[in-house]
Amino acid sequence: MNTIFLRGLELNDALVINKWRNNSEIQKLVSTSFKYVSLEIEKEWVKSKMMDNRKDIYLAICLNDETQQMVGYVSVNDINYINRTAEGGGIVIDPIYQDGIVRYEVGLLIRELVFDHLNINRYEGKCLCEHTTSRIIMEATGYKLEGVLRSAVYKDGKYHDQCVYSLLRSDYYDWMERNEYSLASFAKKVKLLRGLYEKC
């Protein structure tokens, strides 16, 4: 049984999301520039995501126990229903729960949503090139590096290169058939990739 589940955002989620958004340590792990956001603006943002989820889907990550505590959020963005494409909008997880298991399970659930339910053919992911953990996780789950956007993101006073990855529907089902998404297989790939990145 999964340790987490996903659900739609609710208005009272704004309080904890605002806490994470104003936490500079958490924001170092995302690709966007840091900025302080008021609780009122956060509430309006959450409400807008609740009321319009056709192109962008934002989901709360919650513990699958009696507390059902929200420990993060994740999104699928820029959904194109003609080309059957979408982009992973990133993931924010409370530092207490960044042990790897939560992120692994979120990946399983998001890929199921994207390919099995939304019928997406191409799912794209981006991260700053120096975010090696994000790169390792994508590569360990079948994403292919397609290229690098040079100086694409301004963050912390300088421009950063951004890696572009994609996972195709055919790749996903091939990996599913070979049981490549099992925790044991994932952990083995992460260990191998981490060793390769450390040598670079």
> What are the C-alpha distances in Å from 183 to residues 17, 91, 186?
28, 19, 5
Q: What is the pLDDT of residues 13-68, one digit of tens each?
A: 999 999 998 887 777 767 777 778 899 999 999 999 999 999 999 999 999 999 99
Given a cut of 90, whether residue 161 has pLDDT beyond it is yes
Given a cut of 90, whether residue 99 has pLDDT beyond it is no
* Percentage of residues in the chain having pLDDT higher than 70: 99
In angstroms, the CA 58 to CA 77 distance is 8
Mean pLDDT of the chain: 94
Q: What is the pLDDT of residues 138-152, one digit of tens each?
A: 999 999 999 999 999
- For residues 85 and 121, the answer to whether their CB atoms sit within 8 Å is yes
| DSSP secondary structure string for all residues of 47-69 | HHHHH--SS-EEEEEEESSSS--
- Residue-range definition of the domain harbouring residue 121: 4-198
Residue 199: predicted pLDDT = 86
Given a cut of 80, whether residue 12 has pLDDT beyond it is yes
The CATH number of the domain holding residue 14 is: 3.40.630.30
Higher model confidence: residue 111 or residue 155? 111
- For residues 166 and 124, the answer to whether their CB atoms sit within 8 Å is yes
Question: Which helix or strand (DSSP H or E) is residue 192 part of?
Answer: helix 183-199
Mean pLDDT, residues 86-94 taken together = 90
Residue 90: predicted pLDDT = 79
In angstroms, the CA 95 to CA 26 distance is 7
Neighbours of 30 (CB within 10 A): 19
User: In 103-137, which positions are buried (b, 16+ CB within 10 angstroms) versus exposed (e)?
Assistant: bbbbbbbbbebbbeebebbbbbbbbbbebeebbbb
Dig out the tokens for 119 from the structure. 């019928």
Residue 190: predicted pLDDT = 96
Domain count within the chain: 1
Residues 6+ apart with CB under 8 A from 73: 9, 13, 17, 58, 59, 60, 61, 91, 92
